[in-house]
Chain A
Amino acid sequence: MGVLSFVICKNNQCLIFCTPPLKSLNRTTGCEGFNTAVCGGLNMVLFWDIIYWLIPAWVFILIPFCIFYYEADDGMLMAGTSVGAKPKSKLKEALCYESFVVVIFGLIFAMTYLFLNTTSIPVRDWTGPDFAAGPLYAITEENNSTFSASQLQNMGDEDSAILNANTVNPELSTMELSINPATFYAGLMAWLGWFLFACFGGIGMAALPLDLILAFVNRPHHMDAVEFAEAQRSLRDRVNELVNVGELLKIEQEENAQKYEKMGWRERRKAMAEEKKTWIKFKQAVYLMEEDAEDFANCTANYRNYNPLIPIFSLLGGILALLISLCWVLQIILYMLPTPPVTPFLNEYFRWFETWFNLFGVLSVAIFSFYLLICAVKGCFKFGLRFLFFQVHPMKLNKTYMSSFLFNIGLVLLCALPVVQFSASAFQDYARYTTVNQTFNVQLYYLKFFGWFWRSKVFEYALLVILLLTCIYLGCKPKDTSGGKDSISLRDRLRARVSG
């Protein structure tokens, strides 16, 4: 037998015992084909590799292609190009846009892998005495020929002597390794997704519990005659204003189509951006009006048919979401940000299940991780509703267009890897033997350039700050209101523009 070597990676640090062959780091910590009494026997590396390849394929190939192809009907994305378009030309156009996206991202992927694919993992060298110098053990033979650890002699002084003879290099050295493309792209996708997740996840973690609780507080109640008349008049006014705005927008769009032909590239871009912003504002106002109209219907015409359990479930869901959000905040503050961590917190709670029913611990990890994904979608929607940077894509029963589905799935897929990375580092104690821990908390953690963001915990700080700012903001303005004033000012502005 040659040298005994094994690697243990814990808390972002690897210990290499004796003199390991270099390839040992590239070996997996999975347990494929191993005894199921010890490991599950699944090849997790293969599972993760499939996921790492499928996510960019979905985000950069399939979803954009579907959006390009079907948004051509809407005319929003490729304004002016889709009117009267034939299916064949739509397909050609979508393929053209798609190839542009693939080339751009293909180049980015290839260049980043070429120049940034090395990881510098810190290692501590331990050197032990020769294997032959170790003590000899006798194994008690038993009647049945299978071997078990209980047949070995107990460890004694000779073993202590051998262990004491180990020499440890007090200085940490680094080992430079290039990582495989699948792992690298997982890191790249996670890095890209982190910008969205830190922003929307932070907003969603504060907004989700609040909105669920507010759904209970503002549940439909019976209106008296005065309230009814007032609400009906207010809604009617808003509908009339929005109809006016819609008509003005249509006129403006027709006029603009002619104006664009005479404009220079820069002017046209500016005018189109302005037009898009007005559209977004209009759609936002229509969405909020529809919401209020639905609430009004629930208070009046549908009052008898309204399921009274909905607000109660909202309240229960809100309390549960609040608890999970609070646990996440505490986990970040107590475990993820300080070095060394103050307490393992949720890790301890998950481990507690190991003492009586292991499956609950695993399920808890699933709940905590999936909650983050829901928060990201909620946060994106909330952000779109409050600020005018992009179009809102609400998920409404029987009212969701394919473009909204595609947008939300794209967002969820972009946030999936940051969620996994975030969970893997938050539950590092509990999930210490996992393959994903080896990938995200060791290989990618020390990656050139990208690793800096994770080592300095930039995204975790950003998420926490955004979460706190959202709490303050939503505390002051809890309700999404476009209000009558917004649609009136929009109408007046449009009138001035059209007549001008």
Chain B
Amino acid sequence: MVDIFLICVIVVGFFLLAVIGLYLVVKYQHPDDKNDAYIPKLVVLLGFVLAGGTVFLLPLDVANNSNFAGECTR
């Protein structure tokens, strides 16, 4: 059974990263790129989520395996 708290953390974390990424793209974009270049914007947004997710996966890994002394899979 998966810890509900960790599932909530993943969902909230993903949502937060997506919102921050979207905010960055919208706020920082040059007026020339407004309503244009949607594919690179999506690549940048998902790339931001991916980079943030990679770094935040380490604390999630720690939280997932805390209190665990030894191998759990066998």
Contact = CB atoms under 8 A, between A and B. Distances in A.
A32 B1 CA distance: 8
A434 B53 CA distance: 16
Nearest to B48: A409
Contacts of B1: 33, 35-36, 41
B55 interface: yes
Contacts of A66: 39-40, 43
Interface in A356-391: 358-359, 361-363, 365-366, 369-370, 373
Nearest to A67: B40
Contacts of A37: 67
Given A34-B73, A420-B58, A433-B68, A402 B2 contact: no
Interface string B22-63: 000101111111000101110110111011111111111111
A8 interface: yes
Interface residues of B, number: 46
A63 B43 CA distance: 7
A280 interface: no
B27 A40 contact: no
B19 interface: no
A70 interface: yes
A405 B25 contact: yes
> Helix, strand, loop or mixed for chain A's interface?
helix
B12 interface: no
Q: Is the interface of B mostly helix, strand, loop or mixed?
A: helix
Given A39-B72, A366-B55, A424-B58, A398 B31 contact: yes
Interface string A63-88: 10010011000000000000000000
Contacts of A430: 62
A62 interface: yes
Interface stretch (A48-56, A256-264, A333-341): A48-56
B50 A413 contact: yes
Contact of B68 (A28, A38, A62, A365): A38
Contacts of B62: 361-362, 365, 430-431, 434
A494 interface: no
B64 A44 contact: yes
Contacts of A63: 43, 47
B40 A70 contact: yes
Contact of A39 (B43, B48, B64): B64
A365 B58 contact: yes
B73 A31 contact: yes
Nearest to A34: B72
Interface range for A: 35 or more
Contacts of A7: 71
A405 B72 contact: no
B40 to A, nearest CB: 4
A324 to B, nearest CB: 14
B68 A436 contact: no
B2 A398 contact: no
Contacts of B33: 401-402
A366 B63 CA distance: 11
Contact of A366 (B27, B28, B43, B59): B59
A325 interface: no
Interface in A6-54: 6-8, 27-42, 44, 47-48, 51, 54
B24 to A, nearest CB: 8
Given A417-B54, A431-B62, A412 B47 contact: yes
B72 to A, nearest CB: 4
A380 to B, nearest CB: 14
Contacts of A27: 71, 73-74
Given A55-B54, A416-B55, A436 B61 contact: yes
A419 B55 contact: yes
B34 to A, nearest CB: 10
A399 B47 contact: no
B11 interface: no
B55 A369 contact: yes
B69 to A, nearest CB: 7
A488 to B, nearest CB: 29
A51 B53 contact: yes
A435 interface: yes
Nearest to A37: B67
* Interface core residue of B28, B29, B32, B51 (most chain A CB under 10 Å): B51
A209 B68 CA distance: 37
Contacts of A33: 1
A235 to B, nearest CB: 23
Contacts of A413: 47, 50-51, 54
Contacts of A34: 68, 72-73
Candidate in A35, A39, A70 with the most chain B CB atoms within 10 angstroms: A39
A423 B56 CA distance: 11
B68 A55 contact: no
Q: Name which of A54, A370, A402 has the most chain B CB atoms within 10 A of its CB.
A: A402
6 contacts: A38-B68, A70-B37, A362-B60, A362-B63, A436-B57, A436-B58
Interface of B: 1-3, 6, 25, 27-33, 37, 39-41, 43-44, 46-48, 50-74
Q: 10 tightest A-B contacts by CB? A: A40-B64, A31-B72, A41-B2, A409-B47, A66-B40, A434-B61, A433-B65, A416-B54, A34-B72, A400-B28
